Chain A
Amino acid sequence: MAYDKFTVLKSTAVPLPIENVDTDQIIPARFLKATKREGFGDNLFRDWRYNNDDTPKKDFVLNNSIYTGKILVGGRNFGCGSSREHAAWAIYDYGFRCVVSSFFADIFKNNSMNIGILPVQVSDQFLDKIFKAIEANPAAELEVNLPTQTITLLSTGESESFQINGYKKHNLTNGFDDIDYLQDMKTEIKAFAEKSRY
């Protein structure tokens, strides 16, 4: 599915300083019943965000209007658990384009990049600085620069570089996806598959 190209994103951020945020929290299984990729943002963090009677939980960050922006900042081991891409869809559909954490689960990281969300892995120390900066001033902005692979806390000017492989970087900055790439290599794939054991 087409997504917006990612180059430089300057935005305020929404802090979620919880470790091991699993994809069941990001979107519970009972909201996976759709057959189209629509409206998942409404149920992002459903059970942390709403009471059982659907009233908002006042202490949850998405219900606090002082925190806004296109960047979600999560605690260590973000996106663990189920492989459901719906978790990444929900984050994208809600309006986030980048997730920052000090550690990501593998499948979530792949799913995010496949739909145009940039996962930015920073050190525990830098993550802590980001949380503190947002706590001190919810209007604090971050700049995520994919071409230079740097993330900067604009209030202090502190920055850190992050890793991404050249292939994925090229895809994200141009809005390409793996399916296009694989279609282009179909002849090579068929030749390989025809002589495969299974």
Chain B
Amino acid sequence: MSSKPLSLFDKVWDSHVVRSIPDGPDVLLIDRHFIHEVTSPVAFLSLKNRGLNVLYPHRTFATADHNTPTINQHLPVADPLSANQLKALEENTSSYGISHWGLGNPKNGIVHVVGPENGITLPGMTIVCGDSHTSTHGAFGCIAFGIGTSEVEMVLSSQCIMQPRPLKMRINVNGNLQKGVTPKDVILYIISKLTAAGATGYFVEYAGTVFEQMSMEGRMTVCNMSIEMGARGGMIAPDETTFNYIKGREKAPQGKDWDDAMAYWKTLKSDDGASFDQEYHFDGAAIEPMITYGTNPGMGVGITQTIPTASEVGGGKASFDKSLAYMGFNEKDAMLGKPVDYVFIGSCTNGRIEDFRAFASIVKGRKKADNVTAWIVPGSHQVEKQIREEGIYDILTDAGFQLRQPGCSACLAMNDDKIPAGKYAVSTSNRNFEGRQGPGARTLLASPLVAAAAAVTGRVTDPRTLI
């Protein structure tokens, strides 16, 4: 008797269900739990108030990233509230015996960069973190998603979480990407087609030749933004690219453990005939370098396109108009040539070494535009080290850029890296919400190549003209 074909999602989910509550959620065992300074303090406080302990401290990993400065990290953190959060993380992790890569630690960096970088993230895991971009880890064939603070407390105290089983969606992108089209453009394109709520209630699997040919860094960029179309998470079946990335990393299995792991990892793919509640197909060759014009990540267009009208987009006209008014844009405006005041490259979306290589490929031999303030923020100390070792640092400084220190930085503007009100920022981050990068800031989401083109020309420019 042949068994029912299963999807990658089914295989990973089913192997983690401790209990299915009738007319309720599943209780899922969590393999890896990442925590940071902003969404964990109240969970620890509540844990203490209830008199509970951390069940498996070695399955939780802490790093400080959301609220850390990106210059002068050797000095005491000036903002007392931020310093207090960092202190709380240090004290909480220390008292429960949880690994902590705090500010100044050579392993420190953005949680979704350092996890994979150190081999903590492995195929087939369930991974959660009090951060919606936990979906990043889905690039390794994990079920990884963001949670709230009550859920952080749940995982600390029981290593489990309660989740209703989501619906399944598969997004297939086949064909060859054009020159200058990056993984960021692929995901911005998908979100522009599905809208900011188009995958809410679903867990997404990305499939097709475009993802098969993509690097791990690129896959992380794609999975990272799954949440921006509302998806619970996004995942890609692990393959040789995945295994080669993991092999030799600090916490990756070794020797016989590696062989055993590989035997399991190779089973982690959707069977032929696996069913999905929703399936989409896109042509990779049709994707242009993308840029957003509005205040949610679904409001994106090809860089040579014009801003659509409210009726073309659908949805409520009042909300669309409010969005364009905030941005200071009009329907039918061309995106090319729009003025740019700030450029930010970094974040858990595009703060990995490949992103800086891409940025440098355009910057090389050119100069930063005088009207642009650029914030170049590596995702981790490891990325920073590579930037220096590979000569990218010299390219950047020759062109008039300065390299900052790792952290979430202007992606969410919790620290001092805030774009001023009314200013336009081309940003490689993940959200263009009103005020996301600072009160009144106007964000245009794009790839590292588009960001580089903006940084050297001072306006929205098609990177293909500079390659």
Report yes or no: B200 in contact with A103, Cβ–Cβ below 8 A: yes
Report yes or no: B197 in contact with A111, Cβ–Cβ below 8 A: no
How many residues of chain A have a CB within 8 Å of chain B? Answer: 59
Interface stretch, picked from B157-165, B277-285, B334-342, B392-400, is: B157-165
Report yes or no: A35 in contact with B197, Cβ–Cβ below 8 A: no
Q: Which residue of the partner chain B has the closest CB to A1?
A: B46
- Chain B residues near A17 (CB, 8 Å)? 318
Least Cβ distance of B454 to chain A in Å?
23
Tell me if A125 counts as interface (CB < 8 A to partner B).
no
Q: How far is the CA of A19 from the CA of B318 in the complex (A)?
A: 9
Tell me if B24 counts as interface (CB < 8 A to partner A).
yes
Known: A1-B46, A28-B439, A32-B38. A115 touches B433 (CB 8 A): no
For the A-B complex, the count of residue pairs with Cβ-Cβ distances under 8 Å equals 211
Least Cβ distance of B155 to chain A in Å?
9
Q: How far is the CA of A76 from the CA of B230 in the complex (A)?
A: 12
Report yes or no: B160 in contact with A182, Cβ–Cβ below 8 A: yes
* Chain B positions 288 through 319: 1 when the CB is less than 8 Å from some CB of chain A, otherwise 0: 00000001100000000000000000011011
Report yes or no: B149 in contact with A85, Cβ–Cβ below 8 A: yes
- Chain B 132-169 residues near chain A, CB threshold 8 A: 132, 134, 145-151, 153-154, 157-160, 162-164, 166
Known: A30-B414, A32-B414. A179 touches B435 (CB 8 A): no
- Chain A residues near B232 (CB, 8 Å)? 106
Report yes or no: A47 in contact with B31, Cβ–Cβ below 8 A: no
Known: A182-B154, A185-B19, A185-B27. A33 touches B414 (CB 8 A): yes
- Chain B residues near A84 (CB, 8 Å)? 38-39, 148
Report yes or no: B200 in contact with A165, Cβ–Cβ below 8 A: no
Report yes or no: A22 in contact with B122, Cβ–Cβ below 8 A: no
Interface footprint category on B? 35 or more
Report yes or no: A20 in contact with B197, Cβ–Cβ below 8 A: yes
Report yes or no: A185 in contact with B18, Cβ–Cβ below 8 A: yes
Tell me if B201 counts as interface (CB < 8 A to partner A).
yes
- Chain A residues near B45 (CB, 8 Å)? 35-37
Q: How far is the CA of A106 from the CA of B414 in the complex (A)?
A: 24
- Chain A residues near B435 (CB, 8 Å)? 24-25, 28, 47
Q: How far is the CA of A36 from the CA of B160 in the complex (A)?
A: 23
* Chain B positions 317 through 348: 1 when the CB is less than 8 Å from some CB of chain A, otherwise 0: 01100100000000000000000000000000
- Chain A residues near B56 (CB, 8 Å)? 193
- Chain B residues near A34 (CB, 8 Å)? 41-42, 81
- Chain A residues near B130 (CB, 8 Å)? 83, 85
Known: A28-B439, A182-B154, A193-B29. A85 touches B197 (CB 8 A): no
Q: How far is the CA of A80 from the CA of B435 in the complex (A)?
A: 15
Report yes or no: B154 in contact with A179, Cβ–Cβ below 8 A: yes
Report yes or no: A196 in contact with B31, Cβ–Cβ below 8 A: yes
Q: Which residue of the partner chain B has the closest CB to A18?
A: B319
Known: A52-B439, A178-B154, A179-B154. A81 touches B319 (CB 8 A): no
- Chain A 169-188 residues near chain B, CB threshold 8 A: 177-179, 181-183, 185-186, 188
Report yes or no: A110 in contact with B148, Cβ–Cβ below 8 A: yes
Least Cβ distance of B115 to chain A in Å?
13
Least Cβ distance of A27 to chain B in Å?
11
Least Cβ distance of A177 to chain B in Å?
7
Q: Considering residues A1, A81, A177, A181, which has the most beta carbons from chain B within 10 angstroms of its beta carbon?
A: A81
Q: Which residue of the partner chain A has the closest CB to B24?
A: A167
Tell me if B376 counts as interface (CB < 8 A to partner A).
no
Q: Which 5 pairs show the lowest CB-CB distances between chains A and B? A: A167-B24, A85-B148, A166-B23, A83-B146, A111-B148
Q: Which residues of A approach B to under 8 Å, CB–CB?
A: 1, 17-20, 22, 24-25, 28-30, 32-37, 47, 52, 75-77, 80-86, 88, 103-107, 110-111, 114-115, 165-168, 177-179, 181-183, 185-186, 188-190, 192-193, 196-198
What are 25 A-B residue pairs whose CB atoms fall within 8 Å in the complex? A19-B315, A22-B431, A30-B414, A30-B418, A32-B414, A33-B81, A52-B440, A76-B197, A76-B315, A77-B230, A80-B197, A80-B200, A80-B296, A81-B227, A82-B412, A85-B39, A85-B149, A105-B200, A106-B230, A107-B146, A177-B150, A189-B18, A190-B55, A192-B18, A197-B264
